[in-house]
Chains A and B, each alone.
Chain A
């Protein structure tokens, strides 16, 4: 099939899809409308459970099972990446040359690193109060660690970041989420039901029952996942060398 034929098929399909989507758009309830039955109920429930950030309440309380699914996707994606990017037999590690980093960049990185880690933790810890939560804070904290790669060099990063430990942390926090859910079953209620802990005072750090705990588990999970992912990619891009003949085997057709 030539490129032109393919382009024609694409444009035909694309036009059809576009027409259908645009028609669907005009059937949707108007933008900015006042009809949000699920939203109103979610807000009411969240306030009843004294969680100030309704979005966190939806994520970790009302739809906690859904978040378990998302976490499983995240976990298996990380697993897949680790398997795909592992060091194979025809590759060897070459120590990268130490990089010379300009002084202002190094100073900036060293000053910002603690601030960034703190911000990540702050975003995770205040997930049930203000915008933020485990998903965002985890990524911020993981990115903060990589300031060390920018400010110093790859070896400094490896020194502070034993990847194995983060892989274990990833698995531990994933199971912590499950255990928190099972605790509900053991106590005689439903899986991941937020009934065990008292809801606390509205708008304080410990409000919302199990929400802060699940939030922290997700935060750790995401942070470890991002660190492991970036570590694998950095390994591939900076350190791992091939023996030089892999490219040709492909051309003879595997």
Chain B
């Protein structure tokens, strides 16, 4: 039972990580990365590491996507303004 759960969680993490790398658009990637955070948290819980799961959830579900999206928006706004001035 434990082994099956661990295997499922591991494959989930591997699949999500591959999807995160394969997603080229940073906005879409931010969404996949927040999924990866949840998947990692599940894996850590199954591997009996609730502390690390908590840490990963705190960072992965809101903080990292927010930072990524804000950077994307800043770059995008700058490009828009360049388009207008040139």
Q: How far is the CB of B74 from chain A (nearest CB, A)?
A: 5
Interface residues of B in 60-86 (CB under 8 A from A): 62-63, 66-67, 70-71, 73-74, 77-78, 81-82, 85-86
Query: B11 at interface (Cβ–Cβ under 8 A)?
Result: no
Docked complex Cα distance between A72 and B65 (Å) = 24
Q: How far is the CB of B55 from chain A (nearest CB, A)?
A: 5
Partner of B58, one of A53, A140, A233, A234: A140
Interface residues of A in 110-135 (CB under 8 A from B): 123, 131-133, 135
Interface residues of A in 44-71 (CB under 8 A from B): 53, 55-56
Q: How far is the CB of B49 from chain A (nearest CB, A)?
A: 8
* A contact residues, range: 20 to 34
Interface residues of A in 66-116 (CB under 8 A from B): none
A133 touches B51 (CB 8 A): yes
Query: B54 at interface (Cβ–Cβ under 8 A)?
Result: yes
B63 touches A143 (CB 8 A): yes
Q: Which residues of B contact A245 (CB under 8 A)?
A: 85
A132 touches B63 (CB 8 A): no
Query: A228 at interface (Cβ–Cβ under 8 A)?
Result: no
A236 touches B85 (CB 8 A): no
For the complex, would chain A's binding face be called helix, strand, loop or mixed by DSSP majority? helix
Interface string of A232-247 (1 = CB under 8 A from B): 0110110000101101
Docked complex Cα distance between A163 and B59 (Å) = 21
Query: A226 at interface (Cβ–Cβ under 8 A)?
Result: yes
By beta carbon, the residue of chain B nearest A142 is B63
Query: A193 at interface (Cβ–Cβ under 8 A)?
Result: no
Partner of B51, one of A132, A143, A234, A236: A132
Docked complex Cα distance between A234 and B70 (Å) = 7
Query: A196 at interface (Cβ–Cβ under 8 A)?
Result: no
Known contacts: A233-B70, A236-B70, A237-B70. The answer to whether A247 contacts B51 by CB under 8 A is no
- Where the two chains meet, the residues of A that have a C-beta atom closer than 8 Å to any C-beta of B are 53, 55-56, 123, 131-133, 135-137, 139-140, 142-143, 146, 226, 229-230, 233-234, 236-237, 242, 244-245, 247-248
22 A-B pairs within 8 Å (CB atoms) are namely A53-B51, A56-B51, A123-B54, A131-B51, A132-B51, A136-B54, A136-B58, A139-B55, A139-B58, A143-B63, A230-B63, A230-B67, A233-B71, A234-B70, A236-B70, A237-B70, A237-B73, A237-B74, A242-B81, A247-B78, A247-B86, A248-B86
